[in-house]
Amino acid sequence: MTTVTNRPTNRIGLTSQDYQGGTTTLCAGCGHNSVTSQIIAACYDLSLDPRQVVKMSGIGCSSKTPAYFLGRSFGFNTLHGRMPSVTTGVALANRTLLPIGISGDGDTGSIGFGQFKHMMRRNVSMVYIVENNGVYGLTKGQHSATADVGQNLKYAGINELPPIDICAEALAADCGFVARSFAGDAKQVRELLKAALCYEGTAVIDIISPCVTFNNQDASTKSYTYGKEHEERIQDITFIPSYNEVQVDYEPGTEQMVRLHDGPMIKLRKLAREYDPTDRWQAMKLMEESRIANEFVTGLLYINEARATLPQMMNLSDTPLAYINETDLRPSREAFANVMSEF
Amino acid sequence: MTIIDTAVQSSTYDPHTPIVNDFTIVAATENGSGSQTANNALIRAIFKMGIPVSGKNLFPSNIQGLPTWYAIRVSKHGYTARREHSEILIAFNPRTSDEDLAKLPSGGVCIHPADLKFTTPRSDVVSYAVPVKEFIKELNPPQSLRDYIINMAYVGVLTELLGIDRGQIEDALMHHFNGKRKAVDMNLGMVDLAMNYVRTNLPKQDPFRVAAMNETGGQILIDGNTAAGIGAVVGGVSVVAWYPITPSTSLVDAITDYAPKLRPAEDGKVNYAIIQAEDELAAAGIIVGAGWAGTRAMTATSGPGISLMNEFGGLAYFAEVPIVIWDIMRMGPSTGLPTRVSQGDILSAYYLGHGDSRHVCLLPGSMQECFDFAGVAFDLAEQLQTPVLVLSDLDLGMNNWMTKPFDYPSQPLNRGKVLHTESFETFLAEHNNQWGRYRDVDGDGVPYRTIPGNQHPRAAWLGRGTGHNESALYSERNDDWKRNMDRLSHKHDTARTLVPVPVVDSKPGASVGIIAYGSTHDAVREARDYLRAQGVESSYLRVRALPFNDDISQFVAQHAEVYVVELNQDSQMLQLLCSHVPALAGKLRAVNLCDGLPLTAEFVTNRILEHRGVVRK
Contact across the interface for B281 and A85, Cβ inside 8 Å: yes
Residue B11 lies in a domain: no
Cα gap B327→B303, rounded to integer Å: 7
3-state secondary structure B533-601: HCCCCEEEEEECEECCCHHHHHHHHHCCEEEEEECCCCCHHHHHHHHHCHHHHHHEEEEECCCCCCCEH
- Alpha-carbon distance of A58 to B445, in angstroms, equals 27
Could you read off the pLDDT of B347-393 as tens digits, one per residue?
999 999 999 999 999 999 999 999 999 999 999 999 999 999 999 99
**B244 shares its domain with B387:** yes
The string of pLDDT tens digits covering residues A223-271 is 999 999 999 999 999 999 987 656 677 787 889 999 998 889 999 999 9
Q: What is the CATH number of the domain that holds B229?
A: 3.40.50.970
Whether B173 contacts B41, CB under 8 Å: yes
Please list, residue by residue across B124-156, b when 16 or more beta carbons sit within 10 angstroms of its beta carbon and e when fewer do.
ebbbbebbbeebbeebebeeeeebbbbbbbbbb
Which residues 291-350 of B have a C-beta within 8 angstroms of A? 291-297, 311-312, 315, 319
How far apart are alpha carbons B150 and B131 in whole angstroms?
A: 10
Average confidence (pLDDT) over A88-99: 98
Determine the pLDDT at residue B10. Answer: 47
Please check whether residue B474 touches A, CB under 8 A: yes
Q: Is residue B378 part of a domain?
A: yes
- Same domain for B541 and B599? yes
pLDDT at A250: 79
Contacts of B269 in chain A (CB under 8 A): 315-318
Between residues B226 and B17, the one the model is more confident about: B226
> Is residue A263 situated within a structural domain?
no
Per the CB < 8 A criterion, the answer to whether B230 and B370 are in contact is: no
CB A21 within 8 A of CB A70: yes
Residues B463 and B324 in one domain: no
Picking from B345, B315, B314, B316, the residue whose alpha carbon sits closest to that of residue B329 is: B345
The residue type found at B525 is: R
The pLDDT value recorded for residue B132 is 96
Domain end position, chosen among B442, B466, B498: B498
The last residue of a domain, from among B498, B518, B541? B498
Measured in angstroms, the CA of B325 and the nearest CA of chain A are apart by 15
Predicted local confidence at residue B615, as pLDDT: 78
Q: Sheet containing A202-208: which strands, arranged edge to edge? A: A231-233, A296-303, A177-182, A202-208, A126-132, A98-104, A53-57, A74-77, B462-464
- Chain A CB within 8 Å of residue B236 CB: yes
Residue range B14-35: average pLDDT? Answer: 89
Pairing mode, if any, of strands A74-77 and B462-464? parallel
CB atoms B293 and A1 under 8 Å:
no
B114 and B90 in one domain? Answer: yes
The total number of structural domains that make up chain B: 4
Q: Edge-to-edge strand order for the sheet containing B561-566?
A: B503-505, B538-543, B512-517, B561-566, B588-592
Closest to B402 (Cα-Cα) out of B148, B70, B47: B47
Q: Are B337 and B330 in contact (CB under 8 A)?
A: yes
CA distance B355 to chain A (A): 16
**What is the C-alpha to C-alpha distance for residues A227 and A237, in angstroms, rounded to an integer?**
18
For range A294-305, the mean pLDDT: 97
Closest partner CB to A114 (pick from B239, B278, B457): B278
**Structural domain includes residue A244:** no
Taking only the tens place, the pLDDT of each residue in B408-418 is 999 999 999 99
Contacts of A74 in chain B (CB under 8 A): 450-452, 454, 459-463
pLDDT tens digit string along B420-455?
999 999 999 999 999 999 999 999 999 999 999 999
**Whole-angstrom Cα distance, residue A24 to residue A64?**
9
| pLDDT on residue B414 | 98
Whether residue B489 is predicted with pLDDT greater than 70 in this model: the reply is yes
Give the mean model confidence (pLDDT) for residues A191-199: 98
DSSP B23-36: EEEEEEEETTSSHH
Reported as a pLDDT band with limits 50, 70 and 90, residue B310 is very high
Whether residue B256 contacts residue B313, with contact meaning beta carbons closer than 8 Å, is answered with no
Same structural domain, B456 and B511: no
Chain-chain contact of A335 with B261 (C-beta, under 8 angstroms)? yes
pLDDT in tens, A10-32: 999 999 999 999 999 999 999 99
Which residue does chain B place closest to A315, by CA atoms? Answer: B269
Instruction: Give the residue from B552, B594, B587, B551 showing the smallest Cα distance to B572.
Output: B594
Assigned domain for A247 exists: no
Contacts of B464 in chain A (CB under 8 A): 76-77
**Are the beta carbons of A343 and B405 separated by less than 8 Å?**
yes
Instruction: Tell me if chain A has a CB within 8 Å of the CB of B463.
Output: yes
**Nearest residue on chain A to B44, alpha-carbon basis:** A343
Alpha-carbon gap: A216 to the closest alpha carbon of chain B (Å): 28
Burial letters for B340-376: b for 16+ Cβ neighbours within 10 Å, e otherwise?
bbbbbbbebbbbbbeeebbbbbbbbbbbbbbbbbbbb
Interchain contact, B453 vs A316, CB within 8 Å: no
Q: Do A74 and B452 touch (CB under 8 A)?
A: yes
**Looking at chain A, which residue has its C-alpha nearest residue B420?**
A323
The verdict on a CB contact (< 8 Å) between A340 and B406 is: yes
Q: Pick from B233, B267, B271 the residue to mutate for testing the A interface (most A CBs within 10 Å).
A: B271
- The closest alpha carbon to B424, from B415, B413, B436, B412, belongs to B436
Whether B3 and chain A come into contact, CB under 8 Å, resolves to: no
Question: Is A27 a member of any domain?
Answer: yes
pLDDT band at B14, cuts 50/70/90?
A: low
Residues B255 and B395 in one domain: yes
How far is residue A171 from each of residues A124, A177, A282, B391, B404, measured CA to CA in Å? 15, 9, 11, 42, 55
> Are the C-beta atoms of A156 and A182 separated by less than 8 Å?
no
Q: Are residues B494 and B508 in the same domain?
A: no
Q: Is there a single domain that holds both residue B232 and residue B167?
A: no
* Residues of chain A neighbouring B271 (CB-CB closer than 8 A): 316-317, 319, 321, 324, 328-329
What is the rounded distance in angstroms from the CA atom of residue B136 to the CA atom of residue B153? 9
The CATH number given to whatever domain includes residue A129 is: 3.40.50.970
Looking at residue A4, its pLDDT comes to 57
Q: Is B408 inside any structural domain?
A: no
* Beta bridge mates, B69: B28, B58
d(CA B521, CA B515): 10
The CA-based angle A62-A63-A66, given to 5 degrees, is 100
Predicted local confidence at residue B64, as pLDDT:
84
Rounded distance, CA A298 to CA B175, Å?
Answer: 63
Asked if B88 and B24 count as a contact pair (C-beta separation under 8 A), the reply is: yes
Q: Helix, strand, coil % (nearest 5) of chain A?
A: 35, 20, 45
Task: Indicate whether A109 belongs to any domain.
Answer: yes
pLDDT of B134 above 60: yes
- DSSP state letter for A187: H
pLDDT at res. B13: 56
Q: Is A265 domain-assigned? A: no
Domain count, chain A: 1
Strands B400-403, B220-223: pairing is: antiparallel
Distance, CA of A102 to CA of A75 (rounded, Å): 11
Q: Which residue of A has its CA nearest to B227?
A: A340
In degrees and rounded to multiples of 5, residue B315 shows phi and psi of: -65, -45
Residue B193 · residue B157 · CB < 8 Å: no
Using the beta-carbon criterion (under 8 Å), do A75 and B463 form an inter-chain contact? yes
Chain B residues whose beta carbon lies within 8 Å of the beta carbon of residue A57: none
Q: CB distance B286–A317 less than 8 Å?
A: no
Residue of chain A minimizing CA distance to B268? A315
Tell me what the mean pLDDT of segment B294-311 comes to: 98
pTM (2 decimals)? 0.97
Between residues A240 and B33, which one has the greater pLDDT? A240
**Pair (B201, B82) in one structural domain:** yes
**pLDDT in the model for residue B2:** 73
Q: Which of B3-12, B201-210, B238-247, B594-603 has the lowest average pLDDT? A: B3-12
Which pLDDT band, with edges at 50, 70 and 90, does A175 fall under?
A: very high
Give residue A163's domain range.
16-234+273-326
B220 vs A87, A321, A343: nearest CB:
A343
Q: Which residues contact A280 (CB under 8 A, 6 or more apart)?
A: A171, A174, A302, A304
Inter-chain contacts counted by CB atoms under 8 A, chains A and B: 212
The pLDDT tens digits of the residues spanning B172-189 come to 999 999 999 999 999 999
pLDDT given at position A253: 82
Contact B270 A54 (CB under 8 A): no
Q: Is the peptide bond before B333 cis (omega within 30 degrees of 0)?
A: yes
Q: How many angstroms separate the CA atoms of B319 and B321, rounded?
A: 6
Residue B273 and residue A92: Cβ atoms within 8 Å?
yes
- Look at residues B195, B192, B133 and name the one whose alpha carbon lies nearest to residue B158: B195
Rg (CA), chain A: 21
* Nearest neighbour of B286 by CB, restricted to A89, A320, A336: A89
- What's the mean pLDDT in A151-161? 96
Interfacial B residues in 245-264 facing A (CB < 8 Å): 258, 261-264
Q: Do B460 and A75 touch (CB under 8 A)?
A: yes
Per-residue pLDDT at B147? 85
Cβ contact A77–B452 (<8 Å): no
pLDDT tens digits along A55-69: 999 999 999 999 999
Query: What is residue B462's predicted lDDT score, i.e. its pLDDT?
Result: 98
Taking only the tens place, the pLDDT of each residue in B261-287 is 999 999 999 999 999 999 999 999 999
The pLDDT, as a whole number, for residue A152 is 96
Mean pLDDT along residues A147-160: 96
Partner residue opposite A72 with nearest CB, options B236, B460, B465:
B460
Residues B203 and B240 both lie in one domain: no
pLDDT surpassing 90 at residue A5 = no
Q: Are residues B143 and B264 both part of a single domain?
A: no
**Continuous segment of H or E residues that includes residue A72:** none
Whether A320 and B451 lie within 8 Å, measured CB to CB: no
CATH number at residue B543: 3.40.50.920
Enumerate the residues of chain A whose CB falls inside 8 A of the CB of residue B270.
314-317
Average pLDDT over all residues of chain B:
96
- Asked if B422 and B454 count as a contact pair (C-beta separation under 8 A), the reply is no
Q: How confident is the model at residue B230 (pLDDT cuts 50, 70, 90)?
A: very high
Domain boundaries, position B236: 222-403
Angle, helices B367-384 vs B478-498, to 10°: value is 150
Tell which of B400, B456, B462, B471 to mutate to test the A interface (max A CBs under 10 Å): B462
Cβ burial, residue B570 (10 Å; 0-12/13-18/19+):
middle
CB contact under 8 A, A85 and B311: no
- Residue that terminates a domain, selected from B159, B179, B209: B209
In a domain, A264, yes or no: no
pLDDT at residue B9 greater than cutoff 60:
no
Asked if residue B140 belongs to a domain, the reply is yes
B594 lies within 8 A of chain A by CB: no
Q: What are the b/e assignments for B238-254, b being 16+ CB within 10 Å? A: bbbbbbebbbbbbbbbb
* pLDDT number for residue B7: 59
What are residue B512's DSSP bridge partners?
A: B538, B561
Q: Is B41 touching A (CB cutoff 8 A)?
A: no
Q: Which residue of B has its CA nearest to A329?
A: B236
User: What pLDDT score was predicted for residue B40?
Assistant: 96
User: Is B395 in the same domain as B494?
Assistant: no
Scan residues 385-424 of B and list those with Cβ closer than 8 Å to A.
405-406, 408-409, 412-413
Average pLDDT over residues B234-243: 98
CA distance A258 to A267: 7
CB contact under 8 A, B466 and A77: yes
Is residue B617 in some structural domain? no
| pLDDT score recorded for residue B607 | 97
